[in-house]
Amino acid sequence: MIEKIINKLKDKKIAILGFGREGQSTYHFIRKHLPNKKLTILDKKEISIEDENVECITGDAYLNSLDQYDMIIKSPGISLKDIDITSIKDKITSQLELLLEVYKNNIIGITGTKGKSTTSSLIYEIIKDQWKDTYLLGNIGVPVLDEIDNYKEDTKLVIEMSSHQLEFIHVSPHIALILNLYQDHLDHAGTLEHYHQNKMNIAKNQDKDDYFIYSDDNHYLNDIMKKTSIKSNIYTVRFDNENRVGNTTRLKGKDVYINDEKIYTDGKRNIIGDHNLKNIMFALTVTKIMNFDINKAIKVIENFKGLKYRMEYIGKYHDIHFYNDTIATIPAATINAIQAIGNVNTLIFGGLDRKIDYQDFIKYLKTSDIENFICMPTTGTTIGKELKSTNKNIIFVNTLEEAHEEALKYTKKNMSCLLSPAAASYEFFKNFEEKGKCFEEIVKSEKK
């Protein structure tokens, strides 16, 4: 497997585009197996590296020389929407594509606007419980080539795949999941259509021996599938009890059926909310396709704790229940959290403006039972102004410390304060983890 990748790289003039976590991983992989190969690293930021066989091109013009290379190994965070890539499109690849080309039959790929990390982690735990040689990789934080020396012929790889990672791939995984589609990442993709088409690449290159699982009660996905030809075996996941033609995972009351077979009754679980029940239905579908033991999978589901910073309960302080949901970077995720928690009296929200349409979110907030809205820059400030016409308590703040102080003032006793941004955290924080950790520390620094 490694040999095939190296043979593809060894005679090419290669540029590594982007030198964040994945770009550095790509560099270390190539350097380990091709120690003297000349490379070019391109990044807007300055790069500090001691390697006489590396040329670094940085600054505002770092994208100007892309046509000089035979192969461009692109990192997910680099957007090319503002340049003409017609002449270089076929040269662009990625870690993910390099791995898929040699290992696709062992890969379960998960994408979607929300729920990717939770569902990927749950599927990983289910498979690992029954197949020890399993890895969780990709957008969840582990570049796919980092552990490649340990992959064997029968190793299972569960890979969370972002739209950025899928944008230029020409190979699809053996089992592909699209959980849902909403508005997101328009700052990177340019248009909603392009963003959704990037996601669809996870299944477009499958063949008749592969499997594609998607939520056909998501209207975006439903519309796209009416116009898209997929060659693989298709499974749909839906909440209504309609047993459609083909393979369907559906909900009847509290029971989950795959076609006519009841496989799960919703009961004991730590990950709350209907959206997480849908994630469980996807995981059970994968379990069935892979012929793993459903009863063992259910035990894993019952014990699965969920992810940090996803509707995470911090604790009860000053008679207020605090929840940390900084992973919620779009309105749909925040709405899911509000509905799942159920007694939210104060919502702290707002973050980086990525040109998402918030009108449906504003309508939802106006009619919700939430009394206090603590609005943070930038999207929170904008949305808060539109909420001023209601009888809600609208509070504008600039920092999490201020947000916490206001929450203590106004949140009713024994009710909940939820931090759920409905926007990205990059404006003032490195990522959602940094924002979540900061909020947790602020809340816990107060005496109960």
| Buried-exposed string 66-85: b where 16+ CB fall within 10 A, e elsewhere | beebebbbbbbbbebeeeeb
Angle at 229 between CA 226 and CA 234, to 5 degrees: 85
* Range 190-199 average pLDDT: 90
Q: Structure pTM?
A: 0.91
Question: Is the alpha carbon torsion for 395, 400, 406, 407 positive or negative?
Answer: positive
**What pLDDT score was predicted for residue 355?**
85
Would you place residue 70 in the very low, low, confident or very high pLDDT band (cuts 50, 70, 90)? Answer: very high
Report pLDDT for 213. Answer: 98
Nearest CA-CA partner of 418 in 332, 309, 318: 309
> What ranges do the domains of the chain cover?
2-93, 96-303, 312-444
Say if residue 448's pLDDT is above 60. Answer: no
* Banded model confidence at residue 185, pLDDT cuts 50, 70, 90: low
Q: Give φ, ψ of 328 to 5 degrees.
A: -80, 100
Angle of CA points 200, 153, 307, to nearest 5°? 50
Question: How far is 414 from 17, CA to CA, in rounded Å?
Answer: 51
Centre a 10 Å sphere on the Cβ of residue 57 and count the other Cβ atoms it contains: 18
CB 176 within 8 A of CB 202: yes
Quote the tokens at residue 58.
């940085």
Cis peptide before 249 (omega within 30 of 0): no
**What tokens appear for 421 in the block?**
């941004």
Task: Judge whether residue 136 has pLDDT over 70.
Answer: yes
225 CB-side CA count, 13 A: 21
Residue with the two structure tokens 């203590």: 408
pLDDT at 438: 97
CATH superfamily of the domain spanning 312-444 = Mur ligase, C-terminal domain (3.90.190.20)
Dump pLDDT digits (tens) for 71-116: 999 999 899 988 999 999 999 999 999 999 999 999 999 999 999 9
Question: Which amino acid does the sequence have at 65?
Answer: S
Q: CATH topology for 96-303?
A: UDP-N-acetylmuramoyl-L-alanine:D-glutamate ligase (3.40.1190)
| Whole-angstrom distance, CA of residue 429 vs CA of residue 445 | 20
At 118, list the tokens. 């939770």
Report the percent of the chain where pLDDT is more than 90: 92
Share of the chain above pLDDT 70, in %: 98
For the domain covering 2-93, report its CATH number. Answer: 3.40.50.720
pLDDT averaged over every residue in the chain: 95
pLDDT at 43 > cutoff 90: yes
